[in-house]
Amino acid sequence: MMRQFELVDRVKRYLPEADEDLLNRAYVYAMKAHGTQKRASGDPYFSHPLEVAAILTDLRVDDQTIAAAILHDTIEDTGTTREDIAHRFGENIADLVDGLTKLKKLDLVSKKAAQAENLRKLLLAVAADARVLLVKLADRLHNMRTLHFVPPDKRARIAEETLEIYAPLAGRIGMQDMRDELEDICFRVLMPDAHMMMTQRLTALRERVGGLIEDIETALRARLAASHIKGEVKGREKRVYSIWRKMERKSISFEQLSDIFGFRVIVGSVEDCYRALGIIHQEWPFVPGRFKDYISTPKQNDYRSLHTTVVGPRHQRVELQIRTRKMDEIAEFGIAAHAAYKEGPADGEVPPSSNAYSWLRKTIELLAEGDNPEEFLEHTKLELFQDQVFCFTPKGLLIALPRGANPIDFAYAVHTDVGNNAVGCRINGRNSPLISELHNGDEVEILTSEGQVPPAAWESMVVTGKARASIRRATREAVRKQFVGLGRRIVERAFVRAGKAFSEEKLVAALPRLARQTLDDVLTAVGRGEMYSGDVVKAVFPDFREESTKAGTAESGKGWFGVQGAEKLKFKVPGQEKQGASIPIRGLSDDLPVRFAPNGGAVPGDRIVGILTPGEGITIYPIQSPALMAYDEEPWRWLDVRWDVDEHDPRRFGAQLRLSMINEPGSLAEITRTIADTDANIANIAMRTKTADFHETVIDIEVWDLKHLNAIMSELRAKPMVANIERVIE
């Protein structure tokens, strides 16, 4: 275990002005707080925060960050409180330690939800102070290095979480070496056979090529020296997980890889980078399509370098990275390499010289857009994709997106309003579908139209979290506007029936009595059927009393079309009481007779509405039924209802099909046999001749749900004797 003076010495080597007293006090306090606690390995628990601090000294972080690393588990695992830390070490360090502390006693239904809430808390702390993430990643790295002491079931869960979240996080802030080590450990834990195979292949390749790396290093140094370019050459071998991931992504074999061996050429200036590139290309032929200029177009994590692949000595493909010393520091240490960071972020601000946190700020914006913890976790994982494409707006603005992204993702990356109003696009000047996959260098122009609402189907087409969240929100808002409009018409008619003048000002004043915060909340509730319009009138005019003839069931206090969205009731179908049949509909109260509309009806999977007929009950229609047009001027009769099908008690529902069939022997037998083979039941068949060659058949069938009905129609449509088939809804 590292001694107190050893830790101080490590920090003072790169930060002579470090607060030695602060480091000593943090060391002693944490050692006493953890006391006799042990890790799974049997080592004293205090050895863990010391190792975390040691990892951070390699990144040359400031003394406050080192102190926070030493103290990072005290609040979570000991009796220490945030107030204790703030009193002894100041508010800055207390905020860092608190940001690294997991939430306790989470009242959540799943581990996934708890994981999401803890990640949410961490990212909020990171947005306030970048140093929180550095400590968290160092903490995770040491935990992964000692993962073999953890039970196997827990080991796999931790490795999966690290591979999905923390390794990409390290890559996104430019700490590539840390990301590589985290991924390799996860690879060994989650896929041990694949890890062993890749290790053996690398060992065999290393033995086969002998001193290839040394030969190439020597040749590169000699060529640069001959051109009077001062530079340093470093050879390296690609990590096993990176090799495996590339083979999987591109579906290629180990032998087809061209960048197993790579070299970094570090020179003095940007001009020397391009000079070195030209010299190298003159010496060895470069592989077409393998050159990338990340100096003129840096990655989002501030990474800058020239990449090229050449056919070097022994006809071996070799990847070269050419960069300056400063670029190399940023590639190695990420955000910690920025001078602004070394001075310590002022007031928790992110270093102004870094673009690495622009992504993080966008991710934090999604916190308010997720309806639940799992949705937030989904957004974050989507944003963590490492493989990116770089596209441009017509004005030259660079937009980085995950691979597989399309112009819809691009539109939302530009601005939410651009995405919501998108109706088309041009890629490199050509009109293209909005679902086209984007590639590096594409110039994308989004065509918009005011008042456009993004289709809900877009949600399944996009790949970025921001696009998905924005589409969901826009869809919810569009539906809400519809309910607001419907609710307003219902309320205005209710005031007319009551003989009262409708007034928004008076209704706003009555909001507390309706337990709603805004006027739109009231109108939405009425439109959804969650609030009776008569109650709105009573809230504005407390002395108003409805006549019993209008209330129908006034003694219930709900009115004759009251709705309770959370209540689940099943209503008897008229004429079927003896068999105990019922319609599984949710969203109604009062024991009113309920029936399906004739000639087609509805099946589970259809969006349905209820139409109230006083004295007769409620009729259920599919939303696409033409019969609903007759009730456009009577919105007070519309009820928002939903299916309440019990999967453990399945039942069939009626639907009607109209077929145009060739008039030949055996055609009807083939149709009925097909319906029987698809597990449907025929209730009635009616036929009439249209022409000498064709006849029309209307078949009433009983199916399980909409998916079942569509499958039957697909089967029938494929039959040679069927000229046309459609569902009948009247």
For range 716-730, the mean pLDDT = 84
Report the amino acid identity of residue 665: P
Poorest-pLDDT segment among 78-87, 433-442, 542-551: 542-551
pLDDT of residue 692: 61
Contact 660, 722 (CB under 8 A): yes
pLDDT of residue 60: 86
**Is residue 241 assigned to a domain?**
yes
In 3D space, the residue among 408, 416, 454, 396 whose CA is nearest the CA of residue 433 turns out to be 408
pLDDT of residue 234: 86
By CB atoms closer than 10 A (0-12, 13-18, 19+), residue 253 is exposed
For range 539-549, the mean pLDDT = 69
pLDDT at 307 over 50: yes
**Is residue 405 assigned to a domain?**
yes
pLDDT at 558 over 50: no
Same domain, 147 and 17: yes
pLDDT at 300 over 80: no
Phi and psi based region of residue 442 (left: phi greater than 0; alpha: psi -120 to 50; beta: remaining): beta
Residue 306 CA to residue 453 CA, distance in Å, equals 43
Single residue among 474, 496, 520 that ends a domain in this structure? 474
Tokens coding 630? 């007759």
**Is residue 626 assigned to a domain?**
no
Tens digits of residue pLDDT in 109-149: 456 666 667 777 677 777 677 788 889 899 999 999 999 89
| Better-scored residue on pLDDT, 633 or 714 | 714
Tens digits of residue pLDDT in 83-118: 999 999 999 899 889 888 865 444 444 566 666 677
Tens digits of residue pLDDT in 623-671: 888 888 888 777 778 877 788 777 776 788 889 999 888 777 888 888 9
pLDDT category at 305 given cuts 50, 70, 90 is very high
Same domain, 22 and 81: yes
What SS3 class is residue 281? helix
pLDDT at 69 over 90: yes
By CB atoms closer than 10 A (0-12, 13-18, 19+), residue 121 is middle
pLDDT category at 565 given cuts 50, 70, 90 is very low
pLDDT at 274 over 60: yes
For the annotated catalytic residues, the residue numbers are: 76-77
Q: Among the ranges 157-161, 164-168, 465-469, 722-726, which has the highest mean pLDDT value?
A: 157-161
Strands, sheet with 608-613, edge to edge from the N-terminal-most edge strand:
594-596, 617-622, 608-613, 638-640
Q: For 38, which DSSP code?
A: B
Residue 164 CA to residue 377 CA, distance in Å, equals 10
Tens digits of residue pLDDT in 671-700: 998 998 888 999 889 887 666 667 889 999
CA 280 to mean position of chain CA atoms: 43
Tens digits of residue pLDDT in 382-436: 555 446 677 888 887 878 787 788 999 999 989 989 999 999 999 988 998 998 9
The helix, strand and coil proportions of the chain, stated in percent and rounded to the nearest 5, come to: 50, 15, 35
Task: Mark 207-246 as b/e (b = at least 16 C-beta within 10 Å).
Answer: eeeeebbebbbebbeebbeeeebebebebeebbbbbbbeb
End-to-end CA distance of the chain: 80
**Is residue 702 assigned to a domain?**
yes
Task: Mark 424-447 as b/e (b = at least 16 C-beta within 10 Å).
Answer: ebebeeeebebeeebeeebebbbe
Same domain, 296 and 162: no
Same domain, 410 and 536: no
Same domain, 10 and 155: yes
Single residue among 425, 450, 474 that ends a domain in this structure? 474
Q: Among the ranges 101-105, 108-112, 550-554, 706-710, which has the highest mean pLDDT value?
A: 706-710
| Better-scored residue on pLDDT, 163 or 647 | 163
pLDDT of residue 22: 93
| Better-scored residue on pLDDT, 149 or 567 | 149
Contact 553, 590 (CB under 8 A): yes
Q: What total number of domains does the chain contain?
A: 5
pLDDT at 268 over 50: yes
Contact 618, 612 (CB under 8 A): yes
The bridge status of strand 617-622 relative to strand 594-596 is parallel
pLDDT at 608 over 80: yes
Single residue among 452, 474, 496 that ends a domain in this structure? 474
Same domain, 173 and 216: no
Q: Which domain holds residue 664?
A: 653-727
Same domain, 214 and 226: yes
pLDDT at 68 over 80: yes
**Is residue 40 assigned to a domain?**
yes
CATH number at residue 456: 3.10.20.30
Same domain, 503 and 378: no
Q: Among the ranges 305-309, 393-397, 507-511, 625-629, which has the highest mean pLDDT value?
A: 305-309
Average pLDDT for the chain: 80
pLDDT of residue 593: 76
**Is residue 605 assigned to a domain?**
no
Tens digits of residue pLDDT in 196-243: 999 998 888 888 877 778 888 888 889 899 988 988 998 888 888 888
CATH number at residue 145: 1.10.3210.10
pLDDT of residue 591: 55
Same domain, 186 and 272: no
**Is residue 610 assigned to a domain?**
no
Same domain, 166 and 262: no
Q: What percent of the chain has pLDDT over 90?
A: 19
Poorest-pLDDT segment among 250-254, 364-368, 441-445: 364-368
Same domain, 111 and 171: yes
**Is residue 568 assigned to a domain?**
no
Report the amino acid identity of residue 676: A
| DSSP per residue, 166-215 | IHHHHHHTT-HHHHHHHHHHHHHHH-HHHHHHHHHHHHHHHHHHTTHHHH
pLDDT category at 348 given cuts 50, 70, 90 is very low
CATH number at residue 223: 3.30.460.10
pLDDT of residue 557: 34
Same domain, 217 and 165: no
pLDDT category at 338 given cuts 50, 70, 90 is low
| Better-scored residue on pLDDT, 52 or 475 | 52
